[in-house]
Amino acid sequence: MIRAHRPRRRAALLVLLAVCALMVGTLAAVQWGDGSSEHAVDGSSVLLGTRTNSDGGELEAGRSSVEPATTGSSASDDERVVLAPEGVAALPLVETHAVSGVIVDHVSGEPVPGAKISIVAGIPREFRPTELKKEQRDGGTDAAGRFRIIWPSTVEPRITVTADGYVEMLRPTISVDSEVELRLLPAASIEVVAGGAFSVGEAGGLVALVELRLGILGQRRPRLAHFSAKGSALFENLAPGEYFVSADAPRTGVAFQRVSVDSGEVRVVTLELPLAVRLYGRVLEMDRDVGIAGVEVRVHPFFQGVWQNVERLREERVFTDETGHYEFPFVHPGTTIAELRTPWGDRGRRTLELAGSIGAVEYDIRMKAAAEISGVVRDVRGRPVAGALVSVNESSSSFHWNEPNRHPILREALRRVETDSGGVFRIEAFPASSKVNLVAAWRADGVYDGMTGPQAISAVTQVRPVAGTTVDDVELVLEPTCSISGTVEDEEGDPVGNAEVELFSEQSRSRLAWARSRSSATGEFVVEGLLPGPYLVVCSHVDYSSEPARMSLTAGIQAELAFTMQRRSRIRVVVLDETGNALTFAYVTAEPVGGSSTDTPRNPSARTDGYGRATILGLEAGVWRVFANAKGHERSKGDLEVEVPGDAELEIVLKSKPVEELATVVGTATTQDGGVPRRLRFADRRGGSLEVEGGRFRLTGVAPGRTEFVLRAEDCVPYRTEAVQLYPGGEYDLGAIELAPASRVHVEVLGPDGERLQGASARLIPLPVVEGGTGDRRRLSASEQNRGRFRFVDVPRASWALRVDAEGYRTHRERITVAELDERFTVTMRAD
C-alpha cells in the first residue's frame, strides 16, 4: 500500500515545486515603479503597477476577485487582467477615466495621424484636487487619427494639439469619458526674403546677419524673429489672418509690409531694404541758438496705421554733448519719431520726415531752456533765515494737508531746497511752466518729518518762470506759527479716540487754509505749524457730535481746547418700489428738521445694499428728514424722530417715473458748393443716436423740451440752430442747412527784436460789417500752443479784427481777411 502511493506523492511534490519556482521567477522579472514591463517565461506580457498601453494612455492596477486566467484571454475596455502562464492568477487593471476621440482635417475631414496631444488640469493649481496637483498626460493619434489618454479625474482638462502643417489647437476644456472630434485648421506659411541694400557692406561685402520678424496686427510685440545670414526665413504653422513682416540689418533702414494669408496658403514676400541715412544735428534752446547738453534723444521708425506693433522695432539712443550735438550713424530713411528728454525733466516728441533722404541729414530740434528761481527767506524783522526749506509746487496744487499732522511743505513737490547761511535759495535747471507756487518753512532742529509742524512758515508766493531766464526777486517772509492741542471726551469724561479735528482758516485763502488731526486712544490731539489768525475748529466722530468752536491763534503760543462729545444714534432705512421690491444702490441722505446742515461738517448719507437697506450713523437726538432717490424713480422723503442712544427704522417707498417718449430730429446738410459735408455730427446729441446717409441726417432718441443744436462737419463752420420745441414722440425737421467753409488761422507774436513772446493773448473779433460767410460769429480766443504761437480753428471766412495783448507791450489791433483753408499772420509788438 505504501509503496503503491509513493510515486504519486513524488509527482505531486514535483509539480508543486515547479509551480512555485515559476511564480518566483515571474515576480522577480517584474520591475516596479518605472513604468516598464518584462516578459514571462512563455513570452506573454506581465503588466503590474502603472503601465503604458498601446494608445499612449496609462493603466492602473486595480483590486478585485482573483480568477484563473489563461494565455490569450481578453479583457474589456474597462477591465483588463494580467496575461500569465496557465493556472497562475493575475491582478485585473482598471482604467478610471479617459479622454478619447478623433482628430481630423477641418477642410477635408480626413484623419490626422501623428498629432501630439497634451492634457493638463484646466483649473489653477491651488484649486486642483490632490490627484491633479502635478497631473499632465501626453499622447498621440494613430493611423486612423484616433487617440485615448487615461485621466484620473472627472475634472475637464485643458488640451493642446500640435501637428505638422496644422495650426496649434488650444482648448480650455475637453469632455472626459466621451468621444470628441477635434478639427485642425491647415496652417499657412510665409517666407520672407530680404533684398536691396542688406547685402552691401562698407567694403561691398555681405552684411553678417539680417533680422526678419513676423507679428500679428493688433499685438504690440513681434511674434517671431529669425536672424539669417542668407536674408530669408520661413514662418510656418500660422493661423489665417493679417500679419506684418519686417526686415532689419546693420547699415540699412527697416523694410515693412502687411501680409494676409488664408488657410493652407504659402506666401513669399520680398522686402527691399533701403540704405540707412546719417542723422545729426543740435538740440537748441527755443529762442536762441544755444545748445542744450545732456539731452536724451531716442529715434525709432514709424509706420502709419500699425506703428504700435513695431514702435520699438529699432530704437537707438544718444545724449547730446556740451554743445548740444547728437548723431545717429544709421537711421531709417522714412518717417522717424524722435523723443527727447532734458536733464530737468522737460519732454518733447518730433516727427522727422526722412523719406527720400540719401547720405546725411541735418535736423536741429528746439526745446524750452531751463529756468532758474532764486530768492531769499527772511523773518518778520527782515533778517535772513538759514536752513529754511523752500518747496516749489505746481500752481494747480493746493496747500492742504492730505494726511493728519502732515504739512504741505512735505507733500510731493517739483523741487525742494534749503537756504544757505545768508538765507538765499537757488533752484537751478527748473522746467519752465505757466505758474508755480513757492512756500518756505523753518524749524530750529531742521527736521521735517511730517509728524511735527514747522515753527515758522511763509505765505504762498506765485511766480511765472520763463525759459532761459532767472526769477531772482522772490522774497519769502517767515511768520511764527501757532499750535493747538486739546482733548476729546464724552459726557461721562471718558476719552474718545479716532475723532477728527479740523481747522478752517477764516482769514485768507492764500495762507494755510485747512488742517486736521485725529485724537489718540487717550483722546488727545495736537496740530502744529499754523499761521496766526481766526479759525473755525470742528470735531466730528461717527458716533458722537459736538458744537464747532471759533478761536484766534497767536504767534508762538499753543492754544488749548477741549471738546465734550454727545453720543449720537443711528437709523436704518429700507427703500422699496411700489411693488415692494428692494431698490439697490439708492442714495439716502438725512438732515435735521428745522436746523441748518452747515452746522455739521458733512451731511450723513449712505447707499442701499442688494436688499434695499441702508444705515446712517452718528445722528443727534431730534427729528430728522430722510430723503431717498434712485434711478428711474421719483425722489421721496420721510421724517423720523431719533432718540439718543437708540436705533430707529424707516421704510421709504419710491414711485416709478413714467416712461417718456423721445423725439426725433431730421434734416439735410450741404456745403456751399452743394457737396456732402464730411464727418457730419452734432456737438450735443442729448442722448440721441445719429444716422447719416449722404447729407441726410436723422437724430433719434432725443429728450423732449426746448433746445438748440450745433451741427459740425470737417472744414465747416459750426451751425447753431434756433431754439426748437421737441414734443414726446414727435419728429422735428430742421430743413435744409447750408454749412459755410471754415479756415484755420495761425498767428505768431514777435517782440521788437524778432523774438517770439511768451504769455501773450490773441483774439478774433467779428467786424460790424461782414463780407460774406455765415454761421456762428462769436468772438474767438486761442490758447498759446507754443511760445508766441496761436491757432484758431473753425473760423468763418470773412473779415475779422485781430487783437493781441502782452504785458509790457502796446495792444495790437489789425483788420484781417480770412479766405483760405489755412491763413498765417505775424504780429510784431511794440513796447509801451
pLDDT tens-digit series, residues 672-730: 888 888 777 776 655 555 667 778 888 876 778 888 888 888 888 888 888 889 888 88
Collect all residues with Cβ–Cβ distance below 8 Å to 713 and sequence separation of at least 6.
669, 671, 677, 678, 679, 680, 681, 739
**Which backbone phi and psi does 747 adopt, to 5 degrees?**
-125, 130
Calculate ∠ Cα 531-532-536, nearest 5°: 90
More confident residue, 772 or 624: 624
Instruction: Output DSSP code: residue 598.
Output: G
Specify the range with the lowest mean pLDDT, choosing from 131-145, 474-488, 630-644, 787-801: 131-145
More confident residue, 793 or 431: 793
Residue 56's pLDDT is 40
Q: Which helix (H) or strand (E) holds 309?
A: helix 307-310
Residues 639 and 590: beta-carbon distance below 8 Å:
no
Q: List the helix and strand counts (H, then E) for the chain.
A: 2, 66
Please state, in angstroms and as integers, the Cα–Cα distance from residue 490 to each residue in 541, 544, 561, 576, 592, following that order: 11, 8, 14, 37, 22
Residues 689 and 757 in one domain: no
Please state, in angstroms and as integers, the Cα–Cα distance from residue 671 to each residue in 90, 327, 776, following that order: 94, 50, 15
Segment 236-252 shows an average pLDDT of 81
In which domain, by residue range, is 60 found?
Answer: 2-94
Q: What percent of the chain has pLDDT over 90?
A: 15
Segment 355-382 shows an average pLDDT of 85
Residues 386 and 471 in one domain: yes
Collect all residues with Cβ–Cβ distance below 8 Å to 700 and sequence separation of at least 6.
662, 664, 688, 689, 691
Residues 416 and 501 in one domain: no
Longest dimension (CA), the chain: 153
Picking from 527, 523, 521, the residue whose alpha carbon sits closest to that of residue 489 is 523
Residues 110 and 144 in one domain: yes
Strands (E), 506-568: 514-518, 524-530, 533-540, 544-545, 549-553, 558-567
Picking from 468, 436, 434, 470, the residue whose alpha carbon sits closest to that of residue 286 is 468
- Identity (one letter) of the amino acid at 243? Y
How far is Cα 809 from Cα 399, in angstroms, rounded to an integer?
Answer: 34
Which of 76-80, 154-158, 225-229 ranks highest by mean pLDDT? Answer: 154-158
Strands (E), 127-171: 136-140, 146-151, 157-162, 169-171
Segment 657-672 shows an average pLDDT of 81
CA 625 to chain centre: 42
Q: What percent of the chain has pLDDT over 70?
A: 72
CATH of the domain at 684: 2.60.40.1120
Instruction: Write out the three cell numbers for 99.
Output: 479622454
Residue 318's pLDDT is 93
Locus of grid cell 500660422: 238
Collect all residues with Cβ–Cβ distance below 8 Å to 220 and sequence separation of at least 6.
308, 309, 311
Instruction: Write out the three cell numbers for 12.
Output: 505531486
Collect all residues with Cβ–Cβ distance below 8 Å to 366 and sequence separation of at least 6.
283, 284, 285, 286
CA dihedral 55, 61, 63, 66 (to 10 degrees): 80
Residue 81's pLDDT is 40
Confidence of residue 514 (pLDDT cuts 50, 70, 90): low
Neighbouring C-beta atoms of residue 358, cutoff 10 Å? 9
CATH of the domain at 781: 2.60.40.10
Residues 296 and 309 in one domain: yes
Collect all residues with Cβ–Cβ distance below 8 Å to 4 and sequence separation of at least 6.
none
Q: What value does the mean pLDDT of the chain take?
A: 75
pLDDT greater than 70 at residue 615? yes
Picking from 149, 90, 85, the residue whose alpha carbon sits closest to that of residue 115 is 149
Residue that is last in its domain, among 273, 300, 316 = 273
Residue that is last in its domain, among 159, 184, 209 = 184
How far is Cα 9 from Cα 310, in angstroms, rounded to an integer?
Answer: 92
**Which backbone phi and psi does 787 adopt, to 5 degrees?**
-55, 110
Picking from 718, 706, 697, 708, the residue whose alpha carbon sits closest to that of residue 773 is 718
CA 94 to chain centre: 53
pLDDT greater than 50 at residue 506? yes
pLDDT single digits (tens) 108-152: 889 999 999 998 875 544 444 555 555 788 899 999 999 999 888
Residues 119 and 168 in one domain: yes
pLDDT greater than 80 at residue 72? no
Residues 507 and 602 in one domain: no
- 679 Rama class: left (phi>0) / alpha (psi -120 to 50) / beta: left
Q: Which helix (H) or strand (E) holds 642?
A: strand 636-642
How far is Cα 430 from Cα 415, in angstroms, rounded to an integer?
Answer: 8
Segment 273-302 shows an average pLDDT of 87
pLDDT greater than 90 at residue 486? yes
- Identity (one letter) of the amino acid at 333? P
CA 229 to chain centre: 41
Confidence of residue 223 (pLDDT cuts 50, 70, 90): low
pLDDT greater than 80 at residue 17? no
C-alpha count within 13 angstroms, C-beta hemisphere, residue 82: 30
Collect all residues with Cβ–Cβ distance below 8 Å to 684 and sequence separation of at least 6.
709, 710
Segment 626-649 shows an average pLDDT of 84
Residue 211's pLDDT is 78
Residues 676 and 729 in one domain: yes
Segment 272-301 shows an average pLDDT of 88
Instruction: Write out the three cell numbers for 532.
Output: 496766526
Residues 376 and 475 in one domain: yes
pLDDT single digits (tens) 436-445: 778 888 888 7
User: What's the alpha-carbon Rg for the chain, to the nearest Å?
Assistant: 42
Segment 508-524 shows an average pLDDT of 72
Residues 563 and 573 in one domain: no
- pTM (predicted TM-score): 0.45
Picking from 495, 494, 514, 512, the residue whose alpha carbon sits closest to that of residue 504 is 514
Residue 470's pLDDT is 80
**Which backbone phi and psi does 583 adopt, to 5 degrees?**
-105, 115
pLDDT greater than 90 at residue 296? yes
Residues 327 and 318: beta-carbon distance below 8 Å:
yes
Residue 312's pLDDT is 56
More confident residue, 701 or 250: 250
Residue that is last in its domain, among 136, 165, 184 = 184
Residue 413's pLDDT is 62
Residue 146's pLDDT is 94
**Which backbone phi and psi does 488 adopt, to 5 degrees?**
-125, 120
Instruction: Write out the three cell numbers for 811.
Output: 495792444
More confident residue, 406 or 754: 754
Where helices occur in 600-691 by DSSP H, the ranges are none
Segment 351-367 shows an average pLDDT of 81
Segment 645-659 shows an average pLDDT of 80
Residue 94's pLDDT is 44
Considering its fold, how many domains does the chain have in total? 9
Instruction: Write out the three cell numbers for 98.
Output: 479617459
Residue 433's pLDDT is 62
Q: Which helix (H) or strand (E) holds 391?
A: strand 389-394
